[in-house]
Structure 1
Amino acid sequence: MKFNKIFLILFIFCINFITLAEEIDQNQLKKLAQIAKKEKKVVLNFDKVDIKILTYFVSTLTGKNIIYPPDLKGEVTLISNEPLSIEQVWDLYTTILKSRNYDIVEKKGYFEIVPSNIRNSVPPITEKLVGSSELATFVYKVEKADIIQVANILRGLKSQQGLIFNYNPAKLIIITDTKNNIENLKQLISLIENLSEEEEIKIFKIRYSKSDEVATALNNLFADYGKKDISYKIVNLSSNNTIIVKAPKEIIKDVEAIINTIDIPIQGENLNYRRFWTVKLKNSKAEDIADVLNKVLENIQMIQYQVSSQEAKQTQETTEGKTEVSTSQNQSMPEKKIITQPVYQKNEKPKIIAEKTTNILVIYANKAEYEAIKDLISDLDKPKKQVLVTALIAEVSEKALREIGVRWQILGSSGGATFRGGLSSQDFYNLIGTGNFVSGILTQSGKTVSISGNNLFFPDLLFLLSLLESGTGFNIISSPKILTLDNAEALINVSQVTPFASSLKFDVNGNPIINYDYKEVGLKLKVTPHISDNNILMELHQETNEVIGYEKPQIGQISYVVPITSKREINTSIMVENGKTIILGGLVSKKTIDTMEGVPILSDIPVVGNLFKYKSNELNKTNLFVFLTPFIINSPEDIAKITEEHQKILEQLKKAEKSKEGN
């Protein structure tokens, strides 16, 4: 028996395999069907199998000879959620034939498939529906609910060309419909099967709106129920514009009231009826646009418009005890007065909700409000330009800095940049030596490339090549690139995670346990570009952390190491031309290198060994600089072209660096 069960699993797998084969080995199919026949149960999982193959399989499984006409053709997708008996498979097969306008007639020693006499009363099922929605057949075994009641509900919700059959003896529901609708009907059956006494299922036929829009609106409005562990389910059947709701009875009443408010016709010129609308965003995040629109609606309390105020003026003057006779002249030219009148009360304003998963805005408003909001959305949801920021982070010696043609400026502590008309070498080194941040714009020209009609220079890396080739002190640490939207922040993080001992405690045996926190040490640079014509205003936030020493706290006989770090940061804004290079500097690193040389063996002799040793301390001073080049991106082709040019120069830099190391 166990051996047969293994073959039954193999048989189910082989059914999936043979549906994809162009030629079927009938002997193999017959063998597999015979194995299932011995088990007397089979799980059907046919995917786009030819109906003739299905006929041969059923014939072998049931032992019945079947003759089919030449015009019997088409593919069948047939899935069952539970194993079926051989008799149930036969009943299912005959049902599929009926759905395709065929009957099966028993004759002496065989069964014959013939065209149905009720062809005109049963809608023919074609291979594909409008929109290429493929048909499939699904068999569901009803466990808890009344099968007749379930079948009647499903018949009211099938698509126009779908068919629902119920096989009462085995409590089987046979659904032939589009795959999408079958999935929805399966959800509905599951809802019915698992319905509790406190819950209710209600079907709403949407008449004037789109069911998918109403379902999205309901899911957003009732999202808080899910947070409160209140179970509810909303199923959208777009094929017949219907919504199915399963929820506690008190919530069903709320849903019905909302749908009645939403699903109403717009009556002529009366624009006061509020309903739900949906807008799919193309270029922006729904939550961002919703936040902007809700803030606008929050601030708008009243509008102003001009009306004729002759009577209002007379009323005002009468109230003040004055009487004035109106003349034909002042009647023909009435004065106008600005009258402020509220458009809506605070609790009556339009509502806008963001659906994050689909990036859709759900708007509850009347026609006039919706049109105004939609126009504003069109203005906000425009394609945004992008900025490609290329960075090169390098350690540069003082000698190399002198050879770079840069117009330097000092970055003030308040965040602004103070131009000094250029700094002398002495002033420059004095500034960075005292820990000031500086920036500059590279003035040397380089290669010119035409991108989107603009001639862009690529100077940021060309001069570095000469430094490497000449052996000048220069070391590339990192060369990241980052693409960001206009007005959106981007982060460049070149750091390493360093453990910091945070506390020390002892276990029950007196053994020390040191707890560590892990912090990033290195350089972080936040860049927010703002495009203005062919210039880019760069908002920069630079933060540098460096380990400058170590402490060794001691508790009793236990000591541990704690790194000491320095942190410096600055906020500034710099205007730079598209494709020009900004240089940020001011991080000076001082490292003391201890070296010892000695004569082998002799230098290890205590006391006397010091005569054979040589110790030296060398102070190594480096300056860390960041070279930033922003490029305005108008199309994907721009990115490819810029990246290609930078890749060429980077390859040259790497070759030069390797050559320098080789020497």
Structure 2
Amino acid sequence: MNNLKNTMQMKNIKHITFSFLVTLSLNACVTAPNAKYSPKKSYLKQDSISLAASTGANLDDKKLSELKVDLKKDDVTYLPSLTSEKIQKKAVVDLTEQFSEFNTVKITADDLPLKDYLHYVLGDLLKISYILGEQVKTDSQSVTLNLQQNISQRKLFSLSEQLLVERGYVIRFDDGIFYIHKEEGKASGAFAYGYGNKIESVPKTSATILQLVPFNFGMQTSLANTLTQILKIRAQADFQRSTLILQGKRKDIIRALEFINLMDQPIFKNRHIGAYKTTYVSTDDLMKQLPILLKQEGVSVSAAGQNDLAVSLVALDRIGTLILFANSEQLIDRVFFWAKQIDQAPSGNELQYFLYAPQFSRATDLGESLQLLIGGGSSTVSSNTSASSQNKQITSKTNKPSNGMSASNEDMNLVVDERANALIFHTTGDKYRQLLPLIKRLDVMPKQVLLEVMIAEVKLSDVFKQGVSFALTNQGSINKVGGFKFESGAKGLSYVLSGGQGNLTFSLLETNSNVNVLSRPSLLVRDGVKATIIVGDDIPTVGEIITDPTNGSQTSVIYRKTGVELQVKPTINAQGIVIMEIAQKISNQVKGDSSVAGSPIIFERSISTEVIAQSGQTIILGGLISENRTINDTSVPFFSSIPIVGKLFDSTEDTDDKTELVVLVTPKVIESVEEWENIKLKFSSAFKKLKID
């Protein structure tokens, strides 16, 4: 026995030394949080559920678990849930935490009496204080144990605790002393409390545990009787809190949780879900006629919210969609077949009302196109569509009522409901069926264009002495495109460069010391919408001067914008060619004391043109040259005024400073989610390289 003790002490010293070295080596290890930003789901991505009337939508349990609803922060207000303080019983502790996982021992027992086994393990090996009950001293049971490998002190205590529990004993820890005695049932009161449906929430103790188990998918009262019959626990349902109260030992509680998690699933988890969007008839008509047809085929259908039948129907009147729940995919397809047979345009010359809700476009945009086709319409919506004009329209609608948009002829009446974003037709079924394919072709996802613009002012000297166009021509061949238009008297030229030449042009303008980059914005604009960028200052100028005999003269101040103003309206055709209407204006206050009636002189240069380019090509607008002539007179006082010889002490310098305004525009058509993700990746990488001193 002494040799065994010496061996254990040497092993303890080795393990303590090893633990100390490991702690020192890991002392400087720090786990850094992930700093990467994960963007939200792009609005260009389509949902996994399609509401198209032609195909419907099927959704199995895998897709249902992957389906996510993207809610903006402005749409939902989250409130903190009610919390309560956790109450822990002081006497209930995890006894195994007091023993080391690194210090190991080796034990062998052959038909050793229980009390002798406890004296050897608790006193000699674990070195703890303990008290044995009278039942333990008189117990005639023996312990046989043969472990070939060393085990940790914590494992040895857990093993001994398990042996005692199997023999009807419990271990209680109080004031630093372990008490081993017979289990007294309800009278002992040594309960541990836990809450949760995970194994980690169960207290690690040999005492009796009271576990409150919440349900994720609704209360199931039948589980209480089932668990009581198959396990050695007591189970009681708490209907008010939708929980199940379990009482028993830890191993039985864990088995009960495994069974509860297996059964706590949606009752109709394996049901298939589909969505059918109506075209000609209402959802009420489908709800009435579908059950009649399916019951003739022997399929039980519920249209009143019952969920115990083969097919359940739920109508969403707001969006004109019928939601289907069925036990198999074949039933979903069968319901879609009959729904398509019912959802047909009525024949004949009877006038009816039809409602079309666009999926991608605005109802006003579709109404403008159909209004010209139908004829005889009236509209209060302006045909000039831009981001600023749309905001003005919204503001004006809140101030005064709008008559909306309408069109009519002898066969059809059309009204656009902007509030519901819908088109209302009053016509026959045949006429509406003929017009519907055209409406669906117009109702497509609008494309977008990313405009990369660089506005630079080039000083005409050195390589640019003959002008920007001459310098760019020397860099390589370029193609002249389209016509041009100018407003400030200087000649305006437009060039298009594609591929590597476009990059060469940008690099040339950025690195030359004679180039002053005024602005380089990047903006995303929808197809057919005018985008405007204004960067500058408001300069006060003298407005009206009103003279009043009583109050005297009063002068009003008018603020005039100066700086850089760019307007671009892109239009994308079917081949992906971008047609851009570009208007550029640069204005600044003239240096010096020159003014008119107290107002500063504003120097303005502008260019307006319409060009055609493919996605990724660079358009160059140039030729707006301005000249600033400066005369500097330098003289020596007194000596310069002497006749004849005074010219020797006087010098005059006449300098000309010419600058040319250059605008480079690169449109990039965004047609897919992958292109949009690549653009965002480039922007994020550019911000990572940004350094702030």
TM range (shorter): 0.3 to 0.5
The structure with the greater share of residues assigned to strand is 1
**Structure whose alpha-carbon radius of gyration is higher:** 2
Q: TM-score when scaled to structure 1?
A: 0.41
